[in-house]
């Protein structure tokens, strides 16, 4: 892990305000600071991203190291990858993002191919430069692609020989912007695959799900329905009753929402899942697999948190 402090301790451009940050961090990239290590742009993130990286890297390590002699081909796929390095907006600390963290892990030697997908051309170009700096062009590649363009995703998978073998797929949206159909498609296409889905519990869902239920906004409703693969979620009687429930309805509605996601995962042959790992109060990491071995691996690595404390589950 690379951590580098900048001279300023609080970004005077954003000052922690979301609207200013969006304006000044185009494509999520900081417009003021660049990396002190490679002079390339950084993504502006909250420092809780370090917790996400901790769990992701631990699973990546046990997945690749434990399976290296059991499968002739192991592959890693990351969707919504970002540029590979970040700056924590609260204290201006530079850190490796998920992509570079995986590529810098010693177990990357057991991975035949690592593919990183992002919809933004600039972000992908930056990540490919970082891949080149690591001299991993033969093993890793970043590609521009709409997350819901399955025809192009299929072409990427075939061209990079990631069909067959065992795969680990990390899907890391900032909101509920990806679709359940993506998971369904990848399960059908890749067959033997473990997923880690970053679910924005405390941000997008707790903030907006109830308001979406109250207002008949087609675009907003479709986004949340698509995320869990339940087209009529907001029309269900057990969901509409949250219009009148008074106690803790935000969190209870979110749990109801996630239960429909679990049901649909069962329906496509992914019955093993765990959503108990929280990244502060912002996100939950949702591990999904069709094989109980993968779930056991996940439960093993997630028993100890980033603070070193053992968890009671």
Say what the pLDDT of residue 14 is: 55
How many Cβ atoms are within 10 Å of 104's Cβ, its own excluded?
Answer: 15
Buried b (16+ CB within 10 A) or exposed e, 63-83: bbeebeeebeebbbbbbbbbb
Residue reference for tokens 């359940």: 180
Distance of alpha carbon 110 from alpha carbon 113, whole angstroms: 9
pLDDT tens per residue across span 140-162: 999 999 999 999 999 999 999 99
| The model's pTM | 0.91
Fold (topology level) of 47-84+93-301? Rossmann fold (3.40.50)
Residue pLDDT tens, the chain, 313 long: 444 444 444 455 555 454 444 434 456 898 889 999 999 999 999 888 999 999 999 999 999 999 999 999 999 999 999 999 999 988 889 999 999 999 999 999 999 999 999 999 999 999 999 999 999 999 999 999 999 999 999 999 999 999 999 999 999 999 999 999 999 999 999 999 999 999 999 899 999 999 999 998 999 999 999 999 999 999 999 999 998 877 778 889 999 999 999 999 999 999 999 999 999 989 999 999 999 999 999 999 999 988 877 765 5
How many Cβ atoms are within 10 Å of 311's Cβ, its own excluded?
Answer: 11
pLDDT tens per residue across span 11-44: 555 554 544 444 344 568 988 899 999 999 999 9
Residue spans per domain, the chain: 47-84+93-301
């Amino acid at each position: 892990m690379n951590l580098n402090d900048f001279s300023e301790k609080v970004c005077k451009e954003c000052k922690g305000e979301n609207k200013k940050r969006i304006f000044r961090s185009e494509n999520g990239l900081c417009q003021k600071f660049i990396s002190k290590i490679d002079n390339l742009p950084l993504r502006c993130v909250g420092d809780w991203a370090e917790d996400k990286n901790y769990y992701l890297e631990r699973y990546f390590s046990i997945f690749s190291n434990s399976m290296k002699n059991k499968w002739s081909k192991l592959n890693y796929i990351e969707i919504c990858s970002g540029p590979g390095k970040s700056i924590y907006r609260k204290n201006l600390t530079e850190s490796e993002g998920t992509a570079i963290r995986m590529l810098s892990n010693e177990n990357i030697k057991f991975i035949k191919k690592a593919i990183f997908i992002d919809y933004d051309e600039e972000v992908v170009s930056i990540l490919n430069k970082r891949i080149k700096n690591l001299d991993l062009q033969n093993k890793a590649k970043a590609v521009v692609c709409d997350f819901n363009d399955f025809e192009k995703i299929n072409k990427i998978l075939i061209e990079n020989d990631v069909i067959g073998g065992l795969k680990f797929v990390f899907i890391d949206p900032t909101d509920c912007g990806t679709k359940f159909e993506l998971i369904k498609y990848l399960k059908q296409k890749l067959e033997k695959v473990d997923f880690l889905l970053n679910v924005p519990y405390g941000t997008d869902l707790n903030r907006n799900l109830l308001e979406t239920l109250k207002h008949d906004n087609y675009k907003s409703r479709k986004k949340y329905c698509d995320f869990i693969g339940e087209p009529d979620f907001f029309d269900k009687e057990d969901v509409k009753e949250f219009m009148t429930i008074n106690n803790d309805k935000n969190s209870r509605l979110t749990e109801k929402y996630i239960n429909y996601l679990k049901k649909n995962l069962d329906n496509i042959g992914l019955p093993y899942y765990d959503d108990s790992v929280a990244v502060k109060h912002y996100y939950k990491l949702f591990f999904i697999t069709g094989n109980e071995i993968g779930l056991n691996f996940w439960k093993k690595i997630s028993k100890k948190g980033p603070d070193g404390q053992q968890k009671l589950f």
